[in-house]
């Protein structure tokens, strides 16, 4: 059970975090509502052509939401100048050569992100293990490749990721720059997530504290070493 906090937890956070978290909450809420509406609409449209039209409409609407989120995030960053980056700023992503075509660089980054969400480790580390003959590493890469194919070729939904994706996303947003989220007590962290998490539930302080520790440990493990290519 949460114990009421005496101090304002928001004072411990960089003001940009609240704005970024608000954008995230609004966007994810809209996407979740869109998904519910889509499932209802598709159930009433048995004709393949009508289902295809609905899919196109939803894709356009989803892209509009994501583009709006991108614009808002860019505006927030511009308003606060260069946010103080943390070493834990998405360390599982690799900078690709600038000569690589933009579409290929984007696709590789999305694949790295998908791998992280599925397995909680960087594709870079899994690839190293695979190169050393680790069969389980090869299977993890293959699993991510299957997810990618399902998405890229529209072969149905992928299996949900383990854990609460909203919680992980919010923590990574905070840990990507010096937001102060790691300084919040367990009770303050729960208050923070009550305010910004799209799930709309009351959060357990102890559970969030443990999840923050796991996310921190995973991000630190994903930090590149000197022998890795530059990010």
Q: Is residue 111 part of a domain?
A: no
Coil/strand/helix, residue 85: strand
Q: Is residue 52 part of a domain?
A: yes
Q: Is residue 69 part of a domain?
A: yes
Q: Is residue 167 part of a domain?
A: yes
- Cα angle vertex 9, ends 78, 2, to 5°? 135
If pLDDT is split at 50, 70 and 90, which confidence band does 81 have?
A: confident
Expressed as residue numbers, the domain containing 65 is 9-83+163-221
Q: Is residue 202 part of a domain?
A: yes
Q: Is residue 189 part of a domain?
A: yes
Region 26-32 average pLDDT: 92
Tokens of 4: 């009421």
Q: Is residue 169 part of a domain?
A: yes
CA dist., res. 166 & res. 27, Å (int) = 12
Q: pLDDT, tens digit, for every residue of 185-227?
A: 999 999 999 999 999 899 999 999 999 999 999 999 999 886 5
pLDDT at site 7: 57
Q: Is residue 142 part of a domain?
A: no
Beta-ladder partners of 85: 177
pLDDT at site 98: 75
Q: Which of 72-76, 132-136, 160-164, 167-171 has the lowest mean pLDDT?
A: 160-164
How many structural domains compose the chain?
1
């Amino acid at each position: 059970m949460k114990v009421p906090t005496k101090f304002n937890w928001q004072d411990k956070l960089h003001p940009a975090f609240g704005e970024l978290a608000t954008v995230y909450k609004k966007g994810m809420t809209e996407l979740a509502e869109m998904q519910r509406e889509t499932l209802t609409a598709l159930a009433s449209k048995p004709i393949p052509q009508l289902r295809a039209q609905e899919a196109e409409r939803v894709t356009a609407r989803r892209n509009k939401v994501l583009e709006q989120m991108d614009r808002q995030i860019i505006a927030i960053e511009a308003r606060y100048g260069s946010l103080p980056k943390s070493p834990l700023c998405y360390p599982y992503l690799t900078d690709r050569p600038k000569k690589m075509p933009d579409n290929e660089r984007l696709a590789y980054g999305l694949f790295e992100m998908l791998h992280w969400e599925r397995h909680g480790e960087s594709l870079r580390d899994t690839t190293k293990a695979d190169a050393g003959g680790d069969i389980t590493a090869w299977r993890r890469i293959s699993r991510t490749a299957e997810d990618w194919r399902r998405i890229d070729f529209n072969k149905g939904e992928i299996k949900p990721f383990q854990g609460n994706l909203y919680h992980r996303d919010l923590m990574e947003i905070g840990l990507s720059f010096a937001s102060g989220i790691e300084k919040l007590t367990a009770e303050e962290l729960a208050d923070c997530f009550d305010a910004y998490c799209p799930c709309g539930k009351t959060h357990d302080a102890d559970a969030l504290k443990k999840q923050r520790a796991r996310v921190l440990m995973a991000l630190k493990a994903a930090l590149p070493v000197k022998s890795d290519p530059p990010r």
